[in-house]
Amino acid sequence: MKNLLPLLFLIIVSCKSTFVVNEAILVNTLNCPENGDCTIELLPNTSLEFKKDEFGNLYPVISEGNKTIFKFIYTRKPVPNTQDSNYTEIVFAELDSVISPKTFTNETLKDAKLYFGRLCYCKGETGYYPIKNGKFNISKSTKNSFKIDFNFKIDEVPQIISSINETVSVKSSKTN
């Protein structure tokens, strides 16, 4: 039995698929509120950092690096004949360059640099915030795709998007 455990572990590990994003991917999502449009963007060979401006507000800085940035964007359709009705929510995550099944929960969400952005004409209720409460899961979906399941809550500002459940196809990038 002792000799079978290492073999079993090797079989399980070798069945786990990983994906490499070789070029930027932009896809419309299937699960989006009716009054808006949602997209997912994967940016390979980048890194993500959040800096503070002179007022202490966070803002994202994307630069060349060895990671893949996951970016989910929800854009609400503007209200007709209304100025300043633009409204956007953005979720950022910094993933390894080789995307593999992984789960981040609450305290470990910071390891993936998960941030929520609310951009609107919403006095005192706009900006970027680290996501501290939630569960972010990446799993294999099919031979050339992986699934993102993410449920989260932000306490600092109201939010429309609190769940992302999407499958992303990666063309010919499977490494295992």
Lowest-confidence range among 10-14, 69-73, 75-79? 10-14
Tokens 């929960």 belong to which residue?
105
For 113, counting Cβ atoms within 10 Å of its Cβ (0-12 exposed, 13-18 middle, 19+ buried), the class is buried
C-alpha span between 72 and 95 (Å, rounded):
13
Kindly state the average pLDDT of the residues 55-60.
Answer: 94
Going by C-alpha positions, the residue among 153, 159, 120, 114 that lies closest to residue 137 is 114
What is the length of the chain?
176
Q: With 50 as the cut, is the pLDDT of residue 2 above it? A: no
Q: Is the separation of the CB atoms in 42 and 62 below 8 Å?
A: no
The H or E element that residue 7 is part of is helix 4-15
Each domain of the chain, given as residue ranges in start order, spans 18-169
Q: With 80 as the cut, is the pLDDT of residue 3 above it? A: no
- Residues 142-160: tens digit of each pLDDT: 888 889 999 999 999 999 9
Coil, strand or helix at 86: coil
Q: With 80 as the cut, is the pLDDT of residue 12 above it? A: no
- Residues 77-108: tens digit of each pLDDT: 988 877 777 999 999 999 998 888 999 999 99
C-alpha span between 170 and 22 (Å, rounded):
9
* pLDDT on residue 173: 43
Q: What is the pTM assigned to this prediction?
A: 0.83
Going by C-alpha positions, the residue among 100, 30, 102, 108 that lies closest to residue 72 is 30
Amino acid at 97: S
